[in-house]
Amino acid sequence: MAPSGTVADPPPSSATDSFNSGASEENDIRPFFVLHKASSGSLQGKSTGTVRSKRTIESPTPKIAKKSEVESAEEEDGQFLSNRRLKIFETVWSKIEKTIENVLRDSNSKIFNGIYDWIRESFESIRSYGALSLSEAVRSYPVLTQASSKQLFTALVLTRNLEMVDDLLTFEELNLHLKSQGCHVAKLSSMDFSAKNGVGGCLRGLLRQFVMPTLDVADVTTLASWYRENENHKNPVVIIVDDTERCCGSVLSDLILILSEWAVKVPIFLIMGVSTAHDAPRKILSVNALQRLCASRFTLSSPAERMDAVLEAVFLKPCSGFTVSHKVALFMRSYFLCQDGTLTSFVRTLKIACLQHFSSEPLSIMLEHFCQDRSNQLTGEGNGLLTESTMKHAFDLPSVTRNKITRSTCELLPQFLLDLQRMPNPWSIVVLCIYEAGKFDKLRLLDIFCETLDPEARYLKYFSPSAIVNCQSQVSGRSVIRQVLRKLRDLSPSQWRSLLKRWENLSAEFSEINDKVMELHPLKRSVEAAGQRQGLPNSPKKHASRSHTKLEKELSAMADKVAAVIEFMLREYMKPVESVPFHEILCFKNVDKLQSALLGDPRGRIQSDLLEAHNILHCICCSQRGTTLLPSMHDTSILYTLAQEHADVINLHDWYQSFKTILVSRSSKTKQNSKTCSKSKKRKDRCEEPEAPAEALIQARFCRAVMELQIAGLIRLPSKRRPDFVQRVAFGS
Amino acid sequence: MEDVENIEEDECGFSRNYFLAKELGGSSKRSAHKLSDINIVDEQELRETALNIETKHEKEISELLNDYKTMYPKWVFELRCGFGLLMYGFGSKKLLIEDFASASLTEYSVVVINGYLPSVNLKQVLLALADLLSELLKCRRKSSGSLSKGQETFPSRSIDEILSFLHGSQSEDKDCFICVVVHNIDGPALRDPESQQTLAQLASCSHIRIIASIDHVNAPLLWDKKMVHKQFNWLWHHVPTFAPYKVECVFFPLVLAQGSTAQTAKTAAIVLQSLTPNAQNVFKILAEYQLSHPDEDGMPTDDLYSASRERFFVSSQVTLNSHLTEFKDHELVKTKRNSDGQECLNIPLSADALRQLLLDLNQ
């Protein structure tokens, strides 16, 4: 970046001149320019759409222009709908976001309180050294010699997460939590601990956050005198460093050394986020600094645990109504497990899914009602949502036509919608019940959720008698439900007790399931009795005594019975959302769209653009003749296809010659043909193949194509060592 | 599970291709043909011809661009929902994005950054954005009739302060934002980590939405997860256009015309225009000296310092050095030692080119 100097330069462009004729070329070489300013209409919240710039793609046919005129009448309607959609999207998403925030806050609150208690206790112990007079407290001497008075209290917060991105919010919350308890908190990140700015940089950062934002000195005495001001010294000072591993070790060590010298005068507590292992500080800090640390350890919940909590709150508890299909859930799961592993990315995927849902499904605006209180009944006609066109759309939905629901049953629509609204309740109870059973085997809710969403209900096959017999011998295929069923046989009586209790709580509001759970109680009692007789309630598989066989029998009967209850729940209530009519209103299904918006694949796609250009351009001339290279093809496309035949380096001379052969030989052939055959003449007209181009033109085209490949990053230009070769950079996608 | 297998298969395909290519390079002898074997036409002619290459498939390309027009409302919706748009695919996307901005983003101010240029000063961009925003907020307050709380004057001091002004408060109208179009966010001027950090911070501001294009296959490597998920918040759009990279190409050398100098006069002018007036003036002193002393090796650094200081273009040696570093980075200036052992500065351009450059600068 160019230095800006002390004189503020005028921006090289202003808004007015960007519309002048000929300005566009000038704008191309300006570092930046204002294309246009907001139209005045937008200031009042209306769109006028009158500003037209020069830079528009001209429509090749008048047809399209005409069409757009017709469309303009509909534009206003569209504008209204899109505003409405946006508003509802915001409502829905903010509801989901808030739910997630609350879940995360809850999952962290225990640790946060622990940290605060630790700070309070340590603060009191420092204060017990005795009060310092003002003059003592703000100067750097006399140097305290006791080793204990130079200890800097440090909390290592283990994030159990290699990616920092999930923990940004956690530390932000910690910051707020400690502030609300009265602590003075400053947050530093690895950017403040750069070798370039040294320890002065991070001291400045600290002072800016504590003393005043415009301060530009780096002096601990300023901090000390600030701490003595007013009532400041009644509360501890906390410094949060969220990504310790990324900090410059020497700078952090220096800061620790400086602060520890002042530890009694300014009681500072350092909170370091550690993502790798608890010995990470040993790897980055100097020995001197390490000796000054008096460290405690706190551990946050793992991303997978948080993920399950989020999943439960968003999809299984009443939240926004928005949900995803089996395929989308599988994609999100594999993206989380195989590619990213951060909760942040999962949430972002969800947001993109939600956005895509709103931008592709007109009926998605009905989610507004799901989002509101349950007491608010869905009456589509009442609020004018169900216009003729939306009704038509609603009855054209695949789930509706599949279930043979026609317009004649139109009056049933509100009933269907009510069902839809109620539908997830028993469904989520079943999923949570299975999750509870799976917890004994440390199964993830994410896996259970994905499997139970299956619209074809393939999980039911595990309940056929043969599957139950074989369930222990068959290992192939990973099914969570089968794992749950298998695990049931290993549960101890006490585990049974806790499982039934949790099931009871979960199904409390749904009597049909609750009754079935209640039926298990007599069995539970007999299992418990058998366990007590044996005297070892927690270890079901020990001695082969008589009471033990009795217990085993009871346990096995219990497992069979519970498996039957699970089967009943799955069969009766596990209606996956995708099998319900009108589910398209709240369920996002287009996994390809989601994938392409979330994961751009420039490496693969740009190469396939070049190698299969005719598929994108849809031109008649290039796609006809299979894989042979034609002069009518895009130059860069030809050149890149030729490059595939070369090794990791390409001889420029050879490359040029083959490029030239393609351009010249074909053209001349066509020329010869056109003299003799009228058919090929026609083709010539259609393809508009140029005559053999001049040498200079071929060379210029070659240069241009090489340049474009260079811009795409597919080749590297000749080096001084190898002046006649370019290097291939990408090999396949 | 399927996905895991797919990924593994892709990776296998990749490594297979790589080793095949390597093997091919090792087994058969490398071609010994020299570039000089080609009868390369005169460089000037090559450049002129290159400017006038006819675009193939013009009709199909414009149809393709027209197809993308149907996506415009969707893109606007995505921007309004708080996402950034990232366009990729082969072909220059400059026209497409600017057409989209002109046609569909009329309600919002649009600022374009040309990342393909060799040098872009992001601080100036931020200042201009802050200007626009304060103007916009003023208008809004006037139209809504509420009295301003005196927040419309933005601090023009540090990048952080401008960014925090652009970030605004969350409670404000969510639909009040400026769109920033960044052509080639992976371009040479923006490729360094600091620029990307600044852009990411800019993208995360509540009053800013970014629409960017990338052309390099490895562009995603510029960003870490925080930037991708929390700041840029990209939605990817594959929009190959096959349009020629006309402007983007200006700054690349022609592969068949190595060691060319003609281009540098033009690129030098563009680089200089992006520098501060003081830096430009220092360069002018150097250029004028070189023109008036054609026989010397260049201007001694000390002389340049005293001349610049006399005219108040620099206040200290440090400022001069920072200008000189900038010049050297863009190959505007070379240093060598003259016969007396003094360090001399020399502009590697011919006298004619230099005169033309001075004329351009003075306009």
Identify which of A618, A710, A733 has the shortest CB distance to residue B60: A618
| Segment 165-194 of chain B within 8 Å of chain A by CB | 174, 178, 181, 189, 192, 194
| Sign for the pseudo-dihedral over CA of A87, A93, A96, A97 | negative
Q: Test B25 with A649 for CB contact under 8 angstroms.
A: yes
pTM metric for this prediction: 0.79
Better pLDDT: A660 or B174:
A660
Chain A: closest CA distance from residue B346 (Å): 20
For B98-240, list the strands marked E by DSSP. 110-114, 178-183, 208-213, 234-238
Instruction: Decide if A714 touches B, using CB distance below 8 A.
Output: yes
> CA-to-CA distance for A273 and A156, rounded, in angstroms?
6
> CA-to-CA distance for B233 and A348, rounded, in angstroms?
8
Chain position carrying tokens 């005495």: A221
The model's pLDDT over A141-164, given as tens digits with 9 standing for 90+, comes to 655 556 567 788 999 999 887 777
Chain B: closest CA distance from residue A474 (Å): 18
Q: Test A82 with B35 for CB contact under 8 angstroms.
A: no
Instruction: Decide if A606 touches B, using CB distance below 8 A.
Output: yes
The model's pLDDT over A119-141, given as tens digits with 9 standing for 90+, comes to 999 888 888 776 666 666 666 66
Instruction: Decide if A62 touches B, using CB distance below 8 A.
Output: no
Better pLDDT: A110 or A532:
A110
Q: What is the DSSP string of A369-415?
A: HHHS-TTS---TGGGT---HHHHHHHHHSHHHHHTT--GGGGGGHHH
Question: Using the 8-state DSSP alphabet, how is residue A8 labeled?
Answer: P
Of B161, B124, B249, the C-alpha closest to A1 is B124
Instruction: Decide if B361 touches A, using CB distance below 8 A.
Output: no
Residue A634 with chain B: CB contacts under 8 Å: 56-57, 242
| Residue % of chain B over a pLDDT of 90 | 34
What residue segments make up the domains of chain B, in order of their start?
58-249, 262-362
Q: Test A619 with B214 for CB contact under 8 angstroms.
A: no
Q: Test A338 with B120 for CB contact under 8 angstroms.
A: no
Q: Which of B78, B90, B318 to mutate to test the interface with A (most CBs of A within 10 A)?
A: B90
| Segment 9-48 of chain A within 8 Å of chain B by CB | 9, 11-12, 27-44, 47-48
The model's pLDDT over A466-484, given as tens digits with 9 standing for 90+, comes to 555 454 444 445 688 888 8
Tokens at residue A271, please?
Answer: 């909170």
Q: Which of B38, B55, B85, B106 to mutate to test the interface with A (most CBs of A within 10 A)?
A: B106
Q: Test B30 with A649 for CB contact under 8 angstroms.
A: yes
Could you give the count of Cα atoms lying within 13 Å of B137 in the half-sphere of its Cβ? Answer: 23
Tokens at residue B237, please?
Answer: 């759009």
Cβ within 8 Å of residue B250, ≥6 positions away? A29, B263, B266, B267
Report the residue of chain A nearest B29, measured CA to CA. Answer: A647
Q: What is the mean pLDDT of residues A299-325?
A: 88
| Segment 82-141 of chain B within 8 Å of chain A by CB | 83, 86, 88-91, 94-96, 98-99, 101-103, 106-114, 117, 119-125, 127-128, 131-132, 135-136, 139-140
| Residue % of chain A over a pLDDT of 70 | 73
Identify which of A8, A37, A57 has the shortest CB distance to residue B109: A37
ipTM: 0.80
Element (H, E) at B88: strand B84-88
- Across chain A, mean pLDDT equals 77
Q: Test A32 with B88 for CB contact under 8 angstroms.
A: no
Identify which of A31, A56, A607 has the shortest CB distance to residue B117: A31
> CA-to-CA distance for A718 and A592, rounded, in angstroms?
40
pLDDT of B26 > 60? The answer is no
Q: What is the mean pLDDT of residues B50-77?
A: 90
Residue B277 with chain A: CB contacts under 8 Å: 7, 9
CATH code, B262-362: 1.10.10.10
Q: Test A714 with B217 for CB contact under 8 angstroms.
A: yes
> CA-to-CA distance for A470 and A459, rounded, in angstroms?
15
Tell me how far CA of residue A92 lies from CA of A320, A584, A706, B81, in angstroms: 6, 16, 49, 12
Instruction: Decide if A592 touches B, using CB distance below 8 A.
Output: no
Element (H, E) at A651: strand A649-651
Instruction: Decide if A229 touches B, using CB distance below 8 A.
Output: no
The model's pLDDT over A593-641, given as tens digits with 9 standing for 90+, comes to 999 999 888 999 999 999 888 888 888 777 665 667 888 888 999 999 9
Q: Which of A523-527, B51-55, B202-206 has the lowest mean pLDDT?
A: A523-527
Identify which of B57, B73, B247 has the shortest CB distance to residue A619: B57
The model's pLDDT over A191-214, given as tens digits with 9 standing for 90+, comes to 888 888 888 888 888 888 888 766
Q: Which of A699, A701, A716, A720 to mutate to test the interface with B (most CBs of B within 10 A)?
A: A699
The separation between the first and the last C-alpha atoms of chain B, rounded to the nearest angstrom, is 65
Q: Test A725 with B30 for CB contact under 8 angstroms.
A: yes
Of A37, A168, A465, the C-alpha closest to B134 is A37
Chain position carrying tokens 């999930």: A166
Q: What is the mean pLDDT of residues B305-334?
A: 88
- Judged by DSSP in three states, A238 sits in strand
Q: What is the DSSP string of B28-44?
A: SPPP---GGGS-PPPHH
> CA-to-CA distance for A436 and A188, rounded, in angstroms?
41
Q: Test B25 with A648 for CB contact under 8 angstroms.
A: yes
Q: What is the mean pLDDT of residues B267-296?
A: 86
Could you give the count of Cα atoms lying within 13 Å of A433 in the half-sphere of its Cβ? Answer: 30
Chain B: closest CA distance from residue A123 (Å): 34
> CA-to-CA distance for A706 and A688, rounded, in angstroms?
24
Residue A730 with chain B: CB contacts under 8 Å: 217
Directed axis angle between helix A343-360 and helix A303-311, to 10°? 30
Instruction: Decide if B265 touches A, using CB distance below 8 A.
Output: no
Burial A26-40 (b: 16+ CB within 10 A, else e): ebbbbbbbbbbbbbe
- Res. A676 pLDDT band, cuts 50 70 90: very low
Residue B240 with chain A: CB contacts under 8 Å: 605-606, 609, 616
Identify which of A52, A64, A728 has the shortest CB distance to residue B66: A64
Residue A706 with chain B: CB contacts under 8 Å: 255
Q: Which of B52, B58, B107, B141 to mutate to test the interface with A (most CBs of A within 10 A)?
A: B107
Starting at the edge strand found earlier in the chain, the sheet holding A725-728 runs: A649-651, A725-728, A715-716
pLDDT at B137 (0 to 100): 82
Chain position carrying tokens 């609750």: A514
Tokens at residue A96, please?
Answer: 């989901």
Count of all residues that appear for chain A in the document: 733
Identify which of A36, A41, A730 has the shortest CB distance to residue B217: A730
Cβ within 8 Å of residue B313, ≥6 positions away? B278, B281, B282, B285
Tokens at residue A163, please?
Answer: 């990616």
- Res. B71 pLDDT band, cuts 50 70 90: very high
pLDDT at A44 (0 to 100): 46
Tokens at residue B70, please?
Answer: 């149907």
Burial A216-230 (b: 16+ CB within 10 A, else e): eebebebbbbbbbee
Of A616, A439, A588, the C-alpha closest to B89 is A616
Q: What is the DSSP string of A82-105?
A: HHHHHHHHHHHHHHHHHHHHHHHH
> CA-to-CA distance for A335 and A595, rounded, in angstroms?
9
Report the residue of chain B nearest A604, measured CA to CA. Answer: B217
Cβ within 8 Å of residue B89, ≥6 positions away? A605, A606, A609, B238, B239, B240, B241
Element (H, E) at A437: helix A424-438
The model's pLDDT over A37-66, given as tens digits with 9 standing for 90+, comes to 887 655 444 433 333 344 555 544 444 444
Instruction: Decide if A169 touches B, using CB distance below 8 A.
Output: no
Chain A: closest CA distance from residue B340 (Å): 32
Instruction: Decide if A63 touches B, using CB distance below 8 A.
Output: no
Residue A60 with chain B: CB contacts under 8 Å: 59, 62-63, 66
Domains defined for chain A, CATH in brackets:
108-302 (3.40.50), 425-574 (no CATH), 602-728 (no CATH)
- Res. B148 pLDDT band, cuts 50 70 90: very low
Residue B56 with chain A: CB contacts under 8 Å: 632-635
Identify which of A40, A168, A732 has the shortest CB distance to residue B13: A732
The CATH architecture annotation of domain B58-249 reads 3-Layer(aba) Sandwich (3.40)
Is the distance from CB of A244 to CB of A252 less than 8 angstroms?
Answer: yes
Question: Using the 8-state DSSP alphabet, how is residue B145 labeled?
Answer: T
The model's pLDDT over A230-271, given as tens digits with 9 standing for 90+, comes to 777 888 999 999 888 888 889 999 999 988 888 888 888 999
Chain position carrying tokens 């849902």: A357
Count of all residues that appear for chain B in the document: 363
Report the residue of chain B nearest A57, measured CA to CA. Answer: B99
pLDDT at A355 (0 to 100): 93
Q: Test B217 with A717 for CB contact under 8 angstroms.
A: no
Instruction: Decide if B49 touches A, using CB distance below 8 A.
Output: yes
Identify which of A359, A609, A733 has the shortest CB distance to residue B10: A733
Residue B237 with chain A: CB contacts under 8 Å: 597, 600
Angle at A448 between CA A444 and CA A451, to 5 degrees: 140
pLDDT at A386 (0 to 100): 58
